[in-house]
Amino acid sequence: MAFLKATLLIAALQVRVLIQSIRFVICALVALVPAGIALAAGGTTDTEKIGADLSIMLLQFAAPLVGLILGSVVIAEEVEGRTITFFFTRPLHRSALFLGRWAAVALVGGVLIAVSAATVSYGSSHATFRDLQPELHWELQAERATGWKTTQTGSQSVVRYQDEFRDNRRKHVSHLEPGEIIELPMDRRGRPQRIIATERKPRNLDLPEGFAGLLMLSGSLGAAIYTIITAGLSIFVKRPMILGLAYAFAVEGLLANLPGSTQALSVQFYLRSILIDPESPMWNRWSSMGSEFLEPSQAILRLSVFGLILLIGCSRAVVRKQFLLTS
Amino acid sequence: MSDPVLDVVPEETSDQVTSLIEARELGRWYGEVVGLSDLSVVIQPGITGLVGPNGSGKSTFMKLIVGELKPSRGGVRVLGHQPFANRELYRDLGFCPQQDALYDHLSAHGFLAHLLRITGMSANESKQRAKRALGRVGLTEAMHRKCGTYSKGMRQRVRIAQAIAHDPKLVIFDEPLSGLDPIARHQIRTIFKEMVEAGSSLLVSSHVLHELQGLTDRIVLIHRGRLLAQGSVTDIRRLLSQHPRRISITSDAPVELAVELMRLPGVRATRIAENERTLTVETRDAQGLFDQLPAIATRLKAGITSLDSDDEDLEAVFDYLVD
């Protein structure tokens, strides 16, 4: 209990220190990138496409970078600043110090990414500089007439179409309301032709149900995992950020984006497994990369176990490790 | 390397149970660089000065004592504990590191309260203790300012405050007086004395012997990672006084002064610098020279405008002792 209490206390204090730091501002700016793009560009193009692209950007760019920046707070910052002595010469279990500080950065990083994910989700589907009022669409119910279109001028609409002999025809109608039917002249065989006005939202305005929650979950989990990786690296090397960046963006970038089973060696694979629904056309591009994604629950479980093993290993290592500080 | 010049390193006896620090054949190296080599020493309660030139192994010894490093060979016990990552020991141990490292975005009070709080003290007690410790080092008025705005001396005092805030039995100070102005030095020395009167013991390192004079009568001299001598300040100073020292004198009559000084016992050489006003005297009896100099200068009307001693050049002294 004393260990847990110490860990929680360190975490709480570290959160307070962290949110006043420049590092936090930098992380917030990084997390803001996909969110900002979503707010600026969302709705101006295909919602599902921009939603998918920004989600992958969040998972592959923002979450690792935030994780790497914050992860180095746990040990590396103290070693570089030569302040770790103040902690390591206190009646405090080193593991509690490591876990408490990690919990703080994971929480802060997770919240930042979750907020960004929620904004990406909202922005992709709603935010726009374009008027997204529902539009009227017309459905032609005719066997032969083709190439029709309507234009609306004031209270008048003009329906233009080509009949079965490719003759251009037009019909003036009054202002259309949803459900209104425009009866066209019968075709030459006496079959009725009509256009039905329907109200329809722009295509793909809504992202798949549960998308926002899954994106928040995968992004936050990703940030937390990357904080462990950096914190762990910082126990063994002096410049963990460099190695962390190389791992996250070179190694993982390659592993996660090359078709094949090697994807399963990257954190990104599991994050994508949580988010991507292979059945959804939204993810056609990503689900056709040659690797079968896991069930979200399986991905969460495996990533959590991986993170837990890393945490335990790091906690044990930090107890045994000697940190050489130069004066 | 010779044996310690002052043979006062105690043998293992039953009274070592009361010793604060006991190092036996202690060695620590960094790759091929030797930081500490075969150091055996026992340090008793009270104030002990750890003296040695820069790079002599003082900081390495202290890092081994506070458990920041593990020995490469031999061992050290502090208050009866193996020090590395030993939480029991840290309840009774304070450490003031040499490096000028603080959290610049935190106030001194916030920093100390934070350190105390994470070791299990209540928020209120942490704040009270932080306030008291900062008051003891004379930082009451500035304690809510961010550390980044502090002078070098103030930063040093914050580090001292964090070392004493939890009232430890033993406090290790690595060059605590370095960078402090005379008033602050006096203040810190007063704190040290108060701490000892209150029952704490201190190990204070310095590369300048006279900094520790008046503070303690117990000195441990180390050089090149080994124990060179251990004894009283008087013993050490007597030992050091046998080493030829260079004294620079700026005078209006350097030639006449050089001739007169050469007649003094202990003076081995004199040399006049290119500016023709600065005279360098090498002597084995610096005190004798200082005693005679005023009378000689008056008689010669030598017009002495400055007098510098290389007393702080411990490196040279240690080399002399080792050779």
pLDDT digits (tens, 9 = 90+) for A112-151: 999 999 998 888 776 544 444 545 555 555 555 555 566 6
Residue A159 pLDDT exceeds 90: no
Residue B89 pLDDT exceeds 90: yes
Residue A45 pLDDT exceeds 80: no
Residue A157 pLDDT exceeds 90: no
Domains of chain A: total = 2
Q: Of A231-240, B111-120, B173-182, B261-270, which range is least confident? A: B173-182
Q: Of A24-28, A29-33, B305-309, which range is least confident? A: B305-309
Residues B144-168, mean pLDDT to the nearest whole number: 91
- Report strand pairing: B47-51 vs B201-206: parallel
Q: How far is B144 from chain A (nearest CA, A)?
A: 15
C-alpha span between A262 and A255 (Å, rounded): 6
pLDDT 10s digits, A184-196: 777 777 777 776 6
C-alpha span between B59 and B48 (Å, rounded): 15
Q: What is the pLDDT of residue A175?
A: 60
C-alpha span between B314 and B74 (Å, rounded): 27
- Residue A9 to residue B162, Cβ atoms within 8 A: no
Residues B128-145, mean pLDDT to the nearest whole number: 93
For the ranges A88-102, B15-29, B263-277, the maximum mean pLDDT occurs at A88-102
- Residue B118 to residue A88, Cβ atoms within 8 A: no
Based on the fold, state whether residues A179 and A227 are members of the same structural domain. no
Based on the fold, state whether residues A267 and A187 are members of the same structural domain. no
Q: Where among A178, A200, A222 does a domain terminate? A: A200
Residue A326 lies in a domain: no
Mean pLDDT of chain B: 84
Residue A86 lies in a domain: yes
Residue A268 lies in a domain: yes
Residues A206-219, mean pLDDT to the nearest whole number: 85
Q: What is the pLDDT of residue B235?
A: 74
Which of A9, A83, A85 lies nearest to residue B118, judging by beta carbons?
Answer: A9
Q: Where among A177, A200, A223 does a domain terminate? A: A200
- Residue A324 to residue B69, Cβ atoms within 8 A: yes
Residue A166 lies in a domain: yes
Question: What string of DSSP letters covers B110-173?
Answer: HHHHHHHHTTT--HHHHHHHHHHHHHHTT-TTTTTSBGGG--HHHHHHHHHHHHHTT--SEEEE
Q: Of A138-152, B128-142, B198-212, which range is least confident? A: A138-152
Beta bridge partner(s), residue B206: B51
Q: How far is A323 from chain B (nearest CA, A)?
A: 7
Q: How far is B180 from chain A (nearest CA, A)?
A: 18
Residue B126 pLDDT exceeds 70: yes
Residue B11 pLDDT exceeds 50: no
Residue of higher predicted confidence among B31 and B321? B31
Q: What is the pLDDT of residue B199?
A: 87
Q: What is the pLDDT of residue A217?
A: 95
Q: Of B163-172, B210-219, B250-259, which range is least confident? A: B210-219
Q: What is the pLDDT of residue B15?
A: 43
pLDDT confidence bin for B101, thresholds 50/70/90: confident
Residue B212: which of B189, B231, B235, B194 has the closest Cα? B189
Residue A24 lies in a domain: yes
Residue A28 lies in a domain: yes
Residue A327 lies in a domain: no
Q: What is the pLDDT of residue A241?
A: 86
C-alpha span between B106 and B87 (Å, rounded): 25
Which range marks the domain in which residue A160 is found? 135-200
Based on the fold, state whether residues A83 and A24 are members of the same structural domain. yes
- Residue A13 to residue B119, Cβ atoms within 8 A: no
Based on the fold, state whether residues A265 and A302 are members of the same structural domain. yes
A contact test, residue of B89, B118, B172 with most A CBs within 10 A: B118
- Give SS3 for A65: helix
Contacts of B97 in chain A (CB under 8 A): 82, 85-86, 325
C-alpha span between B321 and B323 (Å, rounded): 6
C-alpha span between B184 and A11 (Å, rounded): 36
Residues A299-324, mean pLDDT to the nearest whole number: 92
The residue of chain B nearest to residue A325, with distances taken between CA atoms, is: B99
Contacts of B70 in chain A (CB under 8 A): 322
Based on the fold, state whether residues A13 and A115 are members of the same structural domain. yes
- Give SS3 for A249: helix
Q: What is the pLDDT of residue A73?
A: 85
Residue of higher predicted confidence among B231 and B311? B231
For the ranges A18-27, A306-315, A316-325, B5-14, the maximum mean pLDDT occurs at A306-315
Percent of chain A with pLDDT over 90: 31
Based on the fold, state whether residues A211 and A308 are members of the same structural domain. yes
Q: Where among A200, A217, A247 does a domain terminate? A: A200
pLDDT confidence bin for B225, thresholds 50/70/90: confident
Residue A212 pLDDT exceeds 50: yes
- Residue B117 to residue A13, Cβ atoms within 8 A: yes
Which of B85, B90, B101 lies nearest to residue A81, judging by beta carbons?
Answer: B101
Based on the fold, state whether residues A158 and A232 are members of the same structural domain. no
The residue of chain B nearest to residue A8, with distances taken between CA atoms, is: B118
Give chain B's domains with CATH numbers: 14-240 (3.40.50.300), 244-322 (3.30.70.100)
Residue B315 pLDDT exceeds 60: no
Whether the complex's predicted ipTM is more than 0.95 is answered with: no
Based on the fold, state whether residues A17 and A100 are members of the same structural domain. yes
B contact test, residue of A86, A95, A315, A325 with most B CBs within 10 A: A86
Q: What is the pLDDT of residue A25?
A: 95
Q: How many CB pairs under 8 A join A and B?
A: 78
Contact call for residues B98 and B54 (beta carbons, < 8 A) = no
Q: What is the pLDDT of residue B2?
A: 40
Residue B172 pLDDT exceeds 50: yes
- Residue B67 to residue A6, Cβ atoms within 8 A: no
* Alpha helices (runs of H) in chain B, residue ranges in sequence order: 58-65, 87-91, 108-117, 123-136, 152-164, 182-197, 209-212, 233-241, 254-262, 286-300, 314-322
The residue of chain A nearest to residue B95, with distances taken between CA atoms, is: A89
Q: What is the pLDDT of residue B128?
A: 96
Residue B253: which of B308, B310, B305, B290 has the closest Cα? B305
Quote the DSSP letter at residue A259: S
Based on the fold, state whether residues A150 and A178 are members of the same structural domain. yes
Mean pLDDT of chain A: 80
Q: What is the pLDDT of residue A79?
A: 84
Contact call for residues B95 and B172 (beta carbons, < 8 A) = yes
- Residue A90 to residue B85, Cβ atoms within 8 A: no
Based on the fold, state whether residues A222 and A105 are members of the same structural domain. yes
Residue of higher predicted confidence among B308 and B140? B140
Residue A325 lies in a domain: no
Based on the fold, state whether residues A218 and A140 are members of the same structural domain. no
Based on the fold, state whether residues A58 and A169 are members of the same structural domain. no
Chain A residues at the B interface, defined by Cβ less than 8 Å, are 2, 5-6, 9-10, 13, 17, 20-21, 81-83, 85-94, 97, 100, 319, 322-327
Q: What is the pLDDT of residue A136?
A: 54
Residue B76 pLDDT exceeds 90: yes
C-alpha span between B48 and B8 (Å, rounded): 14
Q: What is the pLDDT of residue B237?
A: 66
Contacts of A5 in chain B (CB under 8 A): 120
Angle at B38 between CA B33 and CA B43, to 5 degrees: 120
Measured in residues, chain B has a length of: 323
